[in-house]
Structure 1
Amino acid sequence: MNEDHYIKKIDRVTSILTQLQTKSIVRAQDLADKFDVSIRTIYRDIKTLENAGIPVFGEAGSGYSLVDGYKLPPVMFTKEEVLSFITAEKLMQKFSHESLDSHYNSAMEKVKAVIRNSEKNMVQNIENQIDIYTHRPEKPDAIKNIIPTILESIAEKNQLKIHYQNVKDEASERIIEAVGIFYEVNYWYMMAFCTMRKDFRQFRIDRILKIEKTKNQFLQNYGNIADYRKKSDEKKVQIKLLVEKKIMPHIVNSKIYYGLTAEEETENGMLMTFETEWIDEGFPRWLITFLDFAEILEPKYLKDTMNGLMNKISNNLNKK
């Protein structure tokens, strides 16, 4: 066997060891898929680790793990991995939730502590050469450590009691079962089953005024948050607009935020399709900023809403 084969084997065995360090159970089939090799090759790699004195526990066909309590020296990182950490740290500074910042900073300090001196110098030299430009809302959350609280409730399957303020500044108390969190257009949201509504709802995290874990557990396994995001999309209203091409550069950023799903260039303009839950307030108020360059094709309900909004604006302008 050639030298390249041995290098690949060493890299693969090292990666398998890292997987064993970071996961409680590692399946042979998952490793085979990850490294694009046969399961028999993975069995031989596991045997290589065992022969090197690594206490791997498990059986072929089920899963492998390191014997509980076994400690390994700190993992050393390659230069490329260190550079990816620096970039990820910049992204976290811009996009992470404030309740996660201190925890991530603490984790990064531990990572930097095991970096070789040559890489430490590189980190110092390159950190100021990377920046991320984005808009973040200035309004701070009312609750410290809110996202860790939500994630703990998911892991422990405990219901949460929250005081929530909606877009109309109306506050209510809810008992919810959290499914997951997601980030969308400058805000963090929580997807959860609301026991009051008997349905799934999404809550903007900065509108939660109070949160506490209850002792009430829930048995339902909700699965992946992406599945519930798709269900949420099914409840949205579809809107079709015909928009003059000359106004397109002025809405290029906001159109995604307001639910653009498709656009098609036609002889008469851009045919734009949206899906939104904001049919009563948010979408109409955005649309009014360029309505003189757009035609509402559907639904008729939106035309009625826009006429009502325009009449209200006209009445306010004509007041003496």
Structure 2
Amino acid sequence: MNKTDRLLAIVLELQRKEVVRADDLAALFETSVRTIYRDIQALSEAGVPIIGAPGTGYSLMEGYFLPPISFTVPEAVSLLIGTEFIEQQFDDDYRVRSQAARGKIEAILPERVRNETSRVSKTMRLLISDKQVKQSKEKEYLGKIRGAILDERKISFHYTKRLTDSEGNRSSVRTVAPYGLVLIQGLWMLVARCDLRQDIRHFRLSRMTELINLGERFELPIHFNLRDYTPQDNRHLLVRLQFIHDIADKVKESNYHYIENMEKHQDGLHVVLRVRQLDELVQWVLGWGAAVIVLEPESFRNRIREEVQKMFKRY
């Protein structure tokens, strides 16, 4: 990053935050603290009202805003693709807002940049599946949950799990304090503290019904940060499979989230998966038919064999 770009970036960083330390700026822009001192001095001499407090950091004088800046073609394309993504994946409220943002961005672009941006944008396209188009209920819930998170109010819903629990139940009513939403491989997940489990749990919006926003307030824990949050990994069971060479590429392209490792061998593609329960893999393994063999554990080999025998009896 050259000096001009760094000076602009420093002002933008100061606009985003109330106070910024020189050490933090040096780490962010991968330069020395002494260089940051010189940059701050250069900005001050150029008329940018920067206030410095020893031992605290730098801040911009209240009421100062950077004049409108121009976008390069790649920057404009990035922003416009971002608005298209939001239109497809977020709820109706944000869909409308993203369309408005797209109009504002296009309006302020110089004609040359706008024309070039349009040309580049036509070479890329975001597609969503028919299944995603039909997820109107999920998008409706997305908006309600987002509002509950911002208002710090609990919600309740009926939840259906993919597998039964230790008591043989698949459905339950949950009351939770919603902490945040995460989009994983096209699926929206709610991170929340569950009153029933008295701990943080994850819930797919697609498995929710009868969602209700409650009046009960909650306080987000001071130590919780969604961007830093890493869920506890309780997948302790390893499964090893062997696929024939002919479908090795298809297995790789499946991008199955339980896959830990894949290696090519003379007898086929060896795949290692890690799961919480072996039943989580049954349908996926059966879907490959005779092209896959369970190497271990033996208990899972027996489980697949039993399912195949049941299928054989049905036919």
Partner of 2:246: 246
Matched residue type, 2:225: G
Which stretches in structure 1 are left out of the alignment for 5+ residues? 1-6
Partner of 1:101: 95
Partner of 1:4: none
Partner of 2:264: 265
Change (3 A) 1:132 1:236: farther
CA distance in 2, matches of 1:62, 1:122: 44
Q: 1:13 touches 1:49 (CA, 8 Å); kept in 2?
A: yes
CA distance in 1, matches of 2:257, 2:220: 36
Secondary structure of the residue aligned to 1:172 is strand
CA distance in 2, matches of 1:63, 1:205: 42
Deviations 1:220-256 (A, max 9, x none): 2223456433x1x3335321112222232333322x2
Q: 2:239 touches 2:297 (CA, 8 Å); kept in 1?
A: yes
Deviations 1:266-309 (A, max 9, x none): 233222101234632x5211211224232222233322322332
* Equivalent residues in 2 for 1:125-136, closer than 5 Å: 125-133=119-127, 135=129
CA distance in 2, matches of 1:57, 1:275: 53
Matched, 1:212 2:213: yes
Q: 1:43 touches 1:60 (CA, 8 Å); kept in 2?
A: no
* Equivalent residues in 2 for 1:1-320, closer than 5 Å: 8-93=2-87, 96-99=89-92, 100-133=94-127, 135=129, 137-142=132-137, 146-147=141-142, 149-151=144-146, 153-154=148-149, 157-167=152-162, 171-209=171-209, 210-212=211-213, 214-220=215-221, 221-224=223-226, 227-229=229-231, 231=232, 233-235=233-235, 237-254=237-254, 256-277=255-276, 279-280=278-279, 282-317=280-315
Partner of 1:3: none
Secondary structure of the residue aligned to 2:313 is helix
CA distance in 2, matches of 1:191, 1:43: 41
Change (3 A) 1:288 1:175: same
Q: 2:241 touches 2:295 (CA, 8 Å); kept in 1?
A: yes
CA distance in 2, matches of 1:273, 1:235: 13
Matched residue type, 1:44: R
CA distance in 1, matches of 2:236, 2:114: 49
Greater CA deviation, 22-31 or 148-157? 148-157
Please, what is the CA RMSD of the aligned residues?
Answer: 3.1
Deviations 1:136-181 (A, max 9, x none): 5343142656445545555565443334343479653322233433
> Taking structure 2 as the reference length, what is the TM-score of the superposition?
0.81
> Taking structure 1 as the reference length, what is the TM-score of the superposition?
0.80
Identity of aligned residues (%): 25
Greater CA deviation, 154-163 or 118-127? 154-163
Aligned length: 306
Q: 2:242 touches 2:292 (CA, 8 Å); kept in 1?
A: yes
Q: 1:28 touches 1:61 (CA, 8 Å); kept in 2?
A: no
1:113 is displaced (CA, Å) by 3.0
Q: 2:157 touches 2:212 (CA, 8 Å); kept in 1?
A: yes
Which stretches in structure 2 are left out of the alignment for 5+ residues? 164-168
Change (3 A) 1:226 1:305: farther
